[in-house]
Structure 1
Amino acid sequence: MEQQHISAEEQAKTFKKVMFRIIPFIFFAYLLNMIDRINISFAKLRMSEDLLLSDAAYGIGTSLFFIGYLIFEIPSNIYLKKVGAKATLTRIMLLWGVLTILMSTVESTTSFYVFRFLLGVAEAGFVPGVILYLTYWFPGFLRGRVTSIFLMAGLIAGIINGPLATWIMSAFDGWMGLKDWQVLFIIEGIPAVILGVVTWFWLIDHPDQAKWLTEREKYIVKTSLSIEQTPAVNEKNTFKQLFMDPRVHIMGIIFLCIYSGTNTITYWVPTLIKEFGVADIKQIGLLSSLPYIFALIAMYLLCRSSDKRLERRWHLALTMIVGSISFMLLGQVQHDLTLSILLLTVGCGACFSAATLFWTIPPAYLSLTTAALGIAWINVMGSLAAAISPALVGFVKTQTGSIYLAFGAIGFLLIIGAILLLIVIPARLLKEQKNIQEAADAQAEQVLTSEMSQK
């Protein structure tokens, strides 16, 4: 097919149209996903009493969710490639919505374990599936932006989930003879089922199938994506090169330390605020929003500073240290509500900011041929924290009676991660890889300019 000239203005207009069609929808889907995933932290405030659910059992149930998620994450993505994103994401949303509703039928610790595991299986592959889906529509120079918008929904969910969950539990307690936590699961599960049905009619697997794009716009999207395609590499050599590098595994450990913090926050903050002496469930919901609001602001400012100065290590290490100190001091100020909330807010903001800052480092270290596999491996290693940290916190609290010791342990992990980062990942390596990346980007830009100037 003869190459046609594509102007920058025409390209920008086309991808703006694609963004408005896809991004708001997947943003809302992830928002619902996170709300349904973390509403258990508020339901726990009441269901623990009804089911005689210990903190250790709650932690185990939370970990079982992630075990199911990790086991079926790769199979889900393989299935996505076979049947398409529309069918896969529709299936995921319908199943997680139905299982969230069925959480209202939990009657014992055993059934709590079963449903949490099944919910993890149902949600498996959602986030990586969406990330893969975005590569079908957006070229590299837009993908970082659209991915960050998508992932931002997780923090927005944290902001609204507390007030929303506690309002539902207060306003609908006793509805149809149900307890407050049962109503919470039903009301918050229904939107996911509805969205699952809408997904089937709204999402399109590939640009060629989009009736809302003109033929010219389809050509622009397809051409923009094809320019960045690279020749296949020897996967066996890439695999060997990657796993013989100890720094890659160290980065996985660093991410595990960070993820332990963010995951602990997600599932234990309402319980921690209750430990501060706050008894009113609505007040707990409102206070639980503050750490996420601060995290959203801190994340933006720190990432902007890191990008402006092209400095990654100290931004990340100092952020982790701030989070660590905040968590370790919580036990010392437990009788002062204002200081407790302040430290919790700063610690949460530091943890979530660290999770974002961290992902600027692996691409700056890994070569172009090992980046995809390396990032996936680091993510898998870090994700093990999601299966470990909730159970660890529950175990410590049950054995000692103090949740502050558990948060202190998370703070200790953050310190370990920061030290490993500064010792094992020297700045010179990131600078060398950054120069290689800049050269590759410049070459890619030349190719893009050359292709678009052809007719």
Structure 2
Amino acid sequence: MTTSSLSTPLGGTPSLSTADAVYRKVSWRLIPLLFVCYIVAYLDRVNVGFAKLQMQDALQFSEAVYGLGAGIFFVGYFIFEVPSNVLMHKVGARRWIARIMVTWGLLSAGTMFVDSPMTFYVIRFFLGAAEAGFFPGIILYLTYWYPAARRGKATSLFLAAIPFAGILGGPISGWILQGMAGINGWQGWQWLFLLQGLPTVALGLVIWRYLDDRVKDAAWLSPAERELIAREIAADNMGKSEVSIWRVMAQGRVWLLALVYFSFVSGLYGISFWLPSIIKAIGVKGALDIGLLSAIPWTFGVVAMYLTARSADRRLEHRWHSAIAAVVGAAGLLMSVAMHGSAAWSMVGLTIATMGIMSTLPVFWGMPTGFLGGAAAAAGIAFINSFGNLSGFAAPFMIGVIKDATKSTDAGLHMLAALLVIGAVLVLRVKPSATSSATSSATSTH
């Protein structure tokens, strides 16, 4: 597209079709790379769930040891999340995201050398510290390129990497566990960490060379295209908070959103870490078969997530979309427990649960990015994400303790369903952002 092709109607405002073309160009440039990066990020975060199928017996870990090791990742993540995101806002996404990916890729590959509970805890803690800032950094980065009325769709395309990681990662992880076992004297779970950690390092180097920090740095956009985006982002930022980090942390709405996100992410990590074990418990034995079946819930989840985000963008409404999706997720978890006598119906329940849980995520992020801007957005998004991700520590650990005590994951899934319902109630108490109200008339024809 050339500069002259950005025709404007009377009054000097670019037509909707012109703006659509510019943002399509941005999306084709940014989203595929960020999408692939988040696939490997999510695989590195949850592949410990597949490794458990062999690792637990090989190292004689109890369910509680596994749950604590899986979850302690998020303690390191929580401690370093806010400073990481604030630094990214200052030094730029290209250098900082590349640094994050290289360090966590090396640590993830190094998990293959775990030989005791303590080494498991230590490397998982430092893995969380290394990855801290990646997800909120990308959420913040998208606010540099998309106004609120377009950000939900872009965020959903990025977050689609989570279910795609499940779709691709399940069969690949199952194949590595079975097919690579014994090669070079290493067990399948060791190969799993190595082969899913090193690609992250390579992608970090791609980010270093390919990503632009801001719109003004994008040589692949014409001056008129850069001006269009900058103008819309500036209009979008009017009325947003640009205050100190400590004032952001003191806002009641930020804390409420953090509690909501904690509830939603509890369901996500409950599914992510325990889905292979739940499928095994309903009678499926082979690692490859477990991996193939685990792709089913994620496949339906990505479709539900995209359609929900698209609906929320069109209506500029986030609270009810999030609440309804959370209740659907809770209902699916309860169904999977009630029907555990039938493998088929249990899978239906898990699929419904994954559809609901995944649909909460892109819609949720429309709320904090709707009223926080600049350094306030960097700190607020990071705090909300880091607090919410503490559920990644709490949920796996509690499910592990419950399973050790009851020899079943049923009570743990009931707990996750209750947390989702609590999140649905809390999200309806979030005050709609002024940004959404201000932009609704401008985007009603979108």
2:105 equivalent to 1:97: yes
1:184 to 192, 200, 211: 192
1:159-206 Cα distance to aligned partner (Å, 9 max, x none) = 111011111222211121111011111111121111122222212223
In 2, Cα distance between equivalents of 1:262 and 1:112: 22
Deviation at 1:255, TM superposition (A): 3.0
1:321-379 Cα distance to aligned partner (Å, 9 max, x none) = 33323323434432321121111111222222233444456678x7999x957766554
Residue in structure 2 matched with residue 202 of structure 1 by the alignment = 210
2:387 equivalent to 1:387: no
Question: Using a 3 Å threshold, how does the CA distance of structure 1 residues 109 and 88 change in structure 2: closer, same or farther?
Answer: same
In 1, Cα distance between equivalents of 2:397 and 2:190: 23
After TM superposition, the structure 1 stretch with the greater mean CA deviation from structure 2, 406-415 or 130-139, is: 130-139
Q: What RMSD, in angstroms, separates the aligned Cα atoms of the two structures? A: 3.4
Deviation at 1:16, TM superposition (A): 3.7
Q: Please, which runs of 5 or more residues in structure 2 have no aligned partner?
A: 9-13
2:145 equivalent to 1:146: no
For 1:32, give the aligned amino acid.
Answer: V
1:118 to 126, 129, 147: 126
Residue in structure 1 matched with residue 410 of structure 2 by the alignment = 404
Question: 3-state DSSP class of the match of 1:235?
Answer: coil
Residue in structure 1 matched with residue 423 of structure 2 by the alignment = 417
Question: 3-state DSSP class of the match of 1:100?
Answer: helix
Higher Cα Rg: structure 1 or 2?
A: 1
Residue in structure 1 matched with residue 356 of structure 2 by the alignment = 350
Identity value in percent:
38
**TM-score with structure 1 setting the length:** 0.82
Residue in structure 1 matched with residue 73 of structure 2 by the alignment = 65
Residue in structure 1 matched with residue 279 of structure 2 by the alignment = 273
Question: 3-state DSSP class of the match of 1:334?
Answer: coil
In 1, Cα distance between equivalents of 2:416 and 2:59: 28
1:285 to 291, 299, 307: 291
Alpha-carbon contact 1:6-1:220 (below 8 Å) kept: no
Question: Using a 3 Å threshold, how does the CA distance of structure 1 residues 411 and 210 change in structure 2: closer, same or farther?
Answer: closer
Question: 3-state DSSP class of the match of 1:39?
Answer: helix
After TM superposition, the structure 1 stretch with the greater mean CA deviation from structure 2, 391-400 or 77-86, is: 77-86
In 2, Cα distance between equivalents of 1:231 and 1:360: 15
Question: Using a 3 Å threshold, how does the CA distance of structure 1 residues 413 and 221 change in structure 2: closer, same or farther?
Answer: closer
Deviation at 1:284, TM superposition (A): 0.4
2:437 equivalent to 1:438: yes
Alpha-carbon contact 2:143-2:151 (below 8 Å) kept: yes
Alpha-carbon contact 2:241-2:372 (below 8 Å) kept: no
Alpha-carbon contact 2:152-2:313 (below 8 Å) kept: no
Residue in structure 2 matched with residue 335 of structure 1 by the alignment = 341
After TM superposition, the structure 1 stretch with the greater mean CA deviation from structure 2, 290-299 or 250-259, is: 250-259
After TM superposition, the structure 1 stretch with the greater mean CA deviation from structure 2, 4-13 or 391-400, is: 4-13
2:26 equivalent to 1:27: no
Equivalent residue runs for 1:250-265 within 5 Å: 250-265=256-271
In 2, Cα distance between equivalents of 1:125 and 1:81: 11
1:91-120 Cα distance to aligned partner (Å, 9 max, x none) = 111111111111111111111111111111
Alpha-carbon contact 2:81-2:382 (below 8 Å) kept: no
Question: Using a 3 Å threshold, how does the CA distance of structure 1 residues 338 and 114 change in structure 2: closer, same or farther?
Answer: same
Alpha-carbon contact 2:78-2:387 (below 8 Å) kept: no
Deviation at 1:90, TM superposition (A): 1.2
In 2, Cα distance between equivalents of 1:153 and 1:11: 26
Question: Using a 3 Å threshold, how does the CA distance of structure 1 residues 367 and 19 change in structure 2: closer, same or farther?
Answer: closer
Question: Using a 3 Å threshold, how does the CA distance of structure 1 residues 231 and 33 change in structure 2: closer, same or farther?
Answer: same
Alpha-carbon contact 1:38-1:267 (below 8 Å) kept: yes
Deviation at 1:251, TM superposition (A): 4.5
Residue in structure 2 matched with residue 451 of structure 1 by the alignment = none
In 1, Cα distance between equivalents of 2:18 and 2:356: 40
For 1:288, give the aligned amino acid.
Answer: S
Question: Using a 3 Å threshold, how does the CA distance of structure 1 residues 164 and 110 change in structure 2: closer, same or farther?
Answer: same
Residue in structure 2 matched with residue 166 of structure 1 by the alignment = 174
1:398-452 Cα distance to aligned partner (Å, 9 max, x none) = 1221111111121222333344556x56xxx65xx67x8434555x89xxxxxxx
For 2:289, give the aligned amino acid.
Answer: Q
**TM-score with structure 2 setting the length:** 0.84
Question: 3-state DSSP class of the match of 2:390?
Answer: helix
Count of residue pairs brought into register by the alignment: 431
After TM superposition, the structure 1 stretch with the greater mean CA deviation from structure 2, 132-141 or 380-389, is: 132-141
Question: Using a 3 Å threshold, how does the CA distance of structure 1 residues 438 and 223 change in structure 2: closer, same or farther?
Answer: closer
In 1, Cα distance between equivalents of 2:63 and 2:142: 39
1:33-60 Cα distance to aligned partner (Å, 9 max, x none) = 1122111110111011111111111111
For 2:87, give the aligned amino acid.
Answer: Y
